[in-house]
Structure 1
Amino acid sequence: MLKTDLGRFRVMGLLEGASLIILLFLAMPLKYMGGIHEAVTIVGSIHGGLFITYVLITLYTTYRIRWSFKWLFGAIAVAFIPFGNLVLDRQLQKAFN
């Protein structure tokens, strides 16, 4: 999966999506229900770094495989939706395999 530009993009998308899910469904409840404020600080920082990397890899992939802007904007939009990257990954499998 890591041998192609699209494969690397898919892996990065899954990592970024997982970090969003961990942030929303683990770290935030720990902060607001458990009083552990450091959970959001740590997981949020990791997620922020992964998000920036994801955007850069999205731009790179768009350039390398000549994606249409539909794919570019869709890939950026799903990064803000929990489980959105899983849906995008399925769409990519259907469209490019």
Structure 2
Amino acid sequence: MVRFFKIIATLEGISLLILFFIAMPLKYFFDTPEFIRPAGMAHGVLFIGYVVLAFMLKMEQEWPVKKLLIVLLASVVPFGTFYIEWKYFGKQQNS
């Protein structure tokens, strides 16, 4: 499950960056809102998957609440999921 979480974390982080740094500037600076909906939808689905998997890993690996809160907070900060993946899962075996 850790391997799947790492994949979702990476995709969620990429989708947040696309939303913030591509889709939103296109909408607000170039009056091109067409990319907001697909980028937002992809990010929303990946965000929900990230949160659900974080709770599942918390139960499976008996994380302390502090670790869960840090992992969840990282999902709303640009580059946060990449940091979490590196800090908490970089040295772990894929399982």
Q: Same fold (TM over 0.5)?
A: yes
Where do 1:73-88 residues align within 5 Å?
73-88=69-84
The alignment covers a number of residue pairs equal to 92
Mapped to 2, the partners of 1:71 and 1:10 lie a distance apart of 16
| TM-score, with structure 1 as normaliser | 0.87
Q: Does 1:56 align with 2:46?
A: no
Which structure has the higher relative contact order (CA within 8 Å, separation 6+)? 2
With structure 2 as the length reference, what TM-score do the two structures score? 0.88
Percent identity, please.
Answer: 34
Which residue number corresponds to residue 43 of structure 1?
39
What's the offset of the Cα at 1:22? 0.4
Residue 72 of structure 1 pairs with residue 68 of structure 2? yes
Match of 2:2 in 1: 6
Offset of residue 52 of structure 1: 0.8
Corresponding position of 2:14: 18
User: 1:71 and 1:12 mapped to 2: Cα distance?
Assistant: 18
Equivalent residue letter for 1:83: F
* CA RMSD, Structure 1 to Structure 2 (Å): 1.3
Q: 2:24 aligns with which of 18, 21, 28?
A: 28
Per-residue CA distance 1:24-66 (angstroms, 9 max, x = gap): 0000011111211121112111111111111111111111111
> 5+ unaligned residues in a row in structure 1: which ranges?
none
Residues 46-97 of structure 1: per-residue CA shift (max 9 Å, x gap): 1111111111111111111111212211110000100011111110125x46
